[in-house]
Amino acid sequence: MHRIDLPSLGPGSPMFILKHVFDGGVNTKSAYIQAGMHANEQPSLLVANHLLKLLAKLDSESKILGRVVVTPYANPIGLAQKVLGEFPGRFYLQDGTNFNRSFPAIDDGIRNAVSARSYSRNDIGAFKELFQFEITKVKAVDPAAFLKKTLLQEAFKHDVVIDLHCANKSVLFVVGKSKHASRVLALAQSVCARAVVLEERLAGSPIDESFDSAWETLRELGLVDEEHQGFVAVIEHRGQADMMDDVAHEDAIGIIRFLAKEGLVQWNEDAEHAIDTDIPVYPFAGNEHVYCEATGLIVFHKKPGEMVAKGDKYAEIVQLDSQLDSERIPVLSNIDGMVIDTHRTQVVRAGQKIAWLAGHELLSDPKNPGIMGP
């Protein structure tokens, strides 16, 4: 276990993160897994706890083949933020910034370095060194900025990066890059996900985008192919209230299954794991974020994981300050697809995001769903 100190939020309040390293040394492949970048998404923290115990057992049995690094809580700043009993761990209270946005970009530095030096194609070791050199040039003084730089610096050391999150009230689903569709689906099958969302590029620079963008810059320069460039994906471990020990344990086993597929660990289950080959895969451009048209109490008629058709009334808004004979305001689906996520609270206001629907048909004006905040 390694401790990494962060700038203090104030006198007498030290901040640090921990990383656990499991290195079998059989091959050079490596993976980095972090949990709780949004500190209010605590089911991911429980999954990471179970994952560490499984990895420790595999390590004691000499079944770690590559190198696996786990940061069990990626955001001590968010965990330290408590307001009236609640964790506003999605946003930095100092300036309102989303903790999983505005990660550093080193793309320009990569282009400049490549123009000044000759690199061999698919020289992964040299590229990782280049990433480390460029990320060290990023200036980060504020505690949150320093944290983001530190986490991305660690991610750049690895071939596989898995970021553990959860949504509001949702199914288990996986978000990944379209170019890595087969590996994203393999991860989804390993963790028994209910859905996969494939995207090209995300706005706002979350850690997965900053990691992938560096590799994509090399690919655009003709220096790395799809097979060799870094792989990153996000697992959304259902909703924020889904803190179930047995379920978290199964999710952790699912991650181990994927690490075994990637050649990082040796894993033999007592019974053959039943692979669900019918996991729906949705393009990011087919996703719709639904915004509330009125203020009131929302009543959902569809649960996350259930299907909707275009025109279906899957929710209604009860206007608490309207006349007694006023009709409820219907919320209709604009797409054919699945309810991925719904808001965790029932009192809503006009303009608020209330649901995430995923469909196969590409929308003319897709919204960036992200994951719904408060």
Question: How is the chain split among helix, strand and coil, in percent rounded to 5?
Answer: 30, 25, 45
| Closest to 147 (Cα-Cα) out of 39, 260, 264, 238 | 39
* pTM given for the model: 0.94
* pLDDT at site 324: 83
- Is the CB of residue 209 less than 8 Å from the CB of residue 296? no
Residues 323-355 pLDDT 10s: 888 899 999 999 999 999 998 888 999 999 999
Distances (CA, A) of 57 to 64, 172, 271: 10, 26, 19
Query: How many other C-beta atoms are found inside a 10 Å radius of the C-beta of residue 184?
Result: 24
* Mode of pairing for the β-strands spanning 231-239 and 160-167: parallel
| Closest to 46 (Cα-Cα) out of 216, 240, 335 | 240
- Is the CB of residue 166 less than 8 Å from the CB of residue 234? no
* pLDDT at site 369: 46
| Closest to 252 (Cα-Cα) out of 45, 73, 113, 95 | 45
Whether 2-279 shares its CATH topology with 285-359 is answered no
| Closest to 148 (Cα-Cα) out of 31, 37, 260 | 37
> What gap in Å lies between CA 46 and CA 48, rounded to an integer?
5
Residues of the chain with pLDDT under 50: 368-374
User: What are the boundaries of each domain within the chain?
Assistant: 2-279, 285-359
| Closest to 236 (Cα-Cα) out of 186, 300, 160, 163 | 163
Percentage of the chain lying above the pLDDT 70 cut: 95
Please give the CATH topology (third level) of the domain spanning 285-359: OB fold (Dihydrolipoamide Acetyltransferase, E2P) (2.40.50)
Please give the CATH topology (third level) of the domain spanning 2-279: Aminopeptidase (3.40.630)
Six-digit token string for 348: 């809503």
